[in-house]
């Protein structure tokens, strides 16, 4: 053992608080190191002095004070514990916790509604896009969408717009028009000054067949594409 490691243990060794193994190592080092022995003696002397200055050792609880303290403990200890000051804050804490919970619930509700909404992608179509609408293709879907072997996994709303947000697909349209289109409802779409063409895309999960239907602003079927 080096002096450095011994010095770390000497404070505990001075009070006999080392484990047997460490105490043995320290003792072996002390036999050969006078400086560490002096250090140990200095610790022991300091502890003895500190104990000698402890004036509390000679004091005791007098009989009258003791009897009074015990009587008080028995009398007051039998009573129910007094309400702690922090209980006064309880309504405020509850109100704060309630506000936090309401906020979290509202946030969860918004997130849940967003996640349940059908995935709709809004794409901007220019006037030229109208001309790109293909004619009927060889893969014609069933006349009524949503048959047993086809499941709609994606629906697109394609709009003609000048808005850069719409072009970037960051604004989602209401699903109501698409729902009507899928169910064959005849109700016209509320006219929008910026929307001329609406498309719905159907993808079969089994075959991967993808069909796009195009509608005008009154939801009249205009054609389909792949």
Partner 1 sequence: MNEQETTLVEMVLAGNSDAFEPLVRPYRNDLIRLAYRMTGDWEDANEASQEALLRAYRYLARFDTARSFKNWLLGILVNEARKSFRKNPRSISLAETAEPSTPADQERRHEEGVLRGRLRACLDGLSRGQREVFILRDLEDRNIRETARILGASELSVRVHLSRARKKIKDLMTRGAAPGKETTS
Closer CB to partner 1, residue 57 or residue 135? 57
Closer CB to partner 1, residue 57 or residue 88? 57
* DSSP secondary structure, the chain, as one string: --HHHHHHHHHHHTTT-S-HHHHHHHHHHHHH-HHHHHHHHHHHHHHHHHHHT-GGGG----HHHHHHHHHHHHHHHTSPPPPPGGGGGHHHHHHHHHHHHHHHHHHHHHHHHHHHS--EEEEE--HHHHHT-----SSPPPSSSS-TT-----EEEEE----HHHHTT-S---SHHHHHHHHT--PPPPP-TT---EEEEEE-TTT--EEEEEE-TT--EEEEE-
In the complex, minimum distance from the CB of residue 3 to partner 1, in angstroms, rounded to a whole number:
16
Q: How far apart are CA 26 and CA 3, in angstroms?
A: 9
**Binding residue count for partner 1, defined by CB under 8 A:** 36
Q: With CB under 8 A as the contact rule, which of the stretches 13-21, 100-108, 177-185, 195-203 interacts with partner 1?
A: 13-21
Note whether 144 binds partner 1 by CB under 8 A: no
Closer CB to partner 1, residue 67 or residue 96? 67
Q: With CB under 8 A as the contact rule, which of the stretches 5-13, 87-95, 185-193, 208-216 interacts with partner 1?
A: 5-13
Closer CB to partner 1, residue 44 or residue 180? 44
Closer CB to partner 1, residue 86 or residue 113? 86
CB-based contact 197:123 (threshold 8 Å): no
Taking residues 104 to 123 in sequence order and writing x for each that binds partner 1 by CB under 8 A, - otherwise, the string is: --------------------
In the complex, minimum distance from the CB of residue 56 to partner 1, in angstroms, rounded to a whole number:
5
Handedness of CA 215, 219, 222, 226 (dihedral sign): positive
Q: How far apart are CA 189 and CA 174, in angstroms?
A: 11
Closer CB to partner 1, residue 30 or residue 157? 30
Q: How far apart are CA 43 and CA 57, in angstroms?
A: 21
Residues from 40 through 99 that contact partner 1 (CB under 8 A): 42-43, 45-47, 49-61, 65-67, 69-70, 72-74, 76-78, 81
In the complex, minimum distance from the CB of residue 28 to partner 1, in angstroms, rounded to a whole number:
20
Closer CB to partner 1, residue 49 or residue 113? 49
Binding site for partner 1 (CB under 8 A): 8, 11-12, 14-15, 17, 42-43, 45-47, 49-61, 65-67, 69-70, 72-74, 76-78, 81
């Amino acid at each position: 053992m080096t002096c450095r490691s011994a010095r770390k243990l000497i404070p505990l060794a001075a009070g006999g608080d080392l484990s047997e193994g460490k105490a043995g190592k320290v003792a072996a080092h002390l036999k050969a190191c006078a400086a560490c022995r002096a250090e140990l003696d200095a610790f022991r002397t300091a502890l003895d002095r500190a104990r000698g200055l402890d004036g509390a050792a000679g004091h005791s609880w007098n009989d009258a004070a003791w009897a009074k303290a015990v009587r008080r403990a028995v009398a007051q200890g039998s009573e129910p514990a007094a309400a702690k000051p922090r209980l006064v804050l309880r309504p405020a804490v509850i109100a704060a916790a309630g506000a936090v919970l309401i906020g979290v619930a509202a946030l969860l509700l918004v997130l849940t509604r967003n996640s349940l909404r059908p995935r709709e992608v809004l794409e901007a179509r220019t006037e030229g896009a109208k001309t790109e609408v293909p004619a009927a293709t060889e893969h014609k879907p069933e006349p009524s969408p949503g048959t047993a072997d086809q499941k709609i996994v994606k629906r697109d709303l394609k709009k003609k717009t000048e808005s850069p947000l719409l072009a970037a697909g960051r604004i989602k349209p209401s699903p109501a028009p698409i729902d009507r289109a899928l169910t064959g409802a005849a109700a016209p779409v509320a006219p929008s000054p910026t929307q001329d063409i609406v498309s719905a895309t159907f993808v079969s999960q089994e075959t991967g067949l993808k069909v796009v239907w195009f509608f005008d602003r009154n939801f009249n079927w205009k054609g389909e594409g792949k």
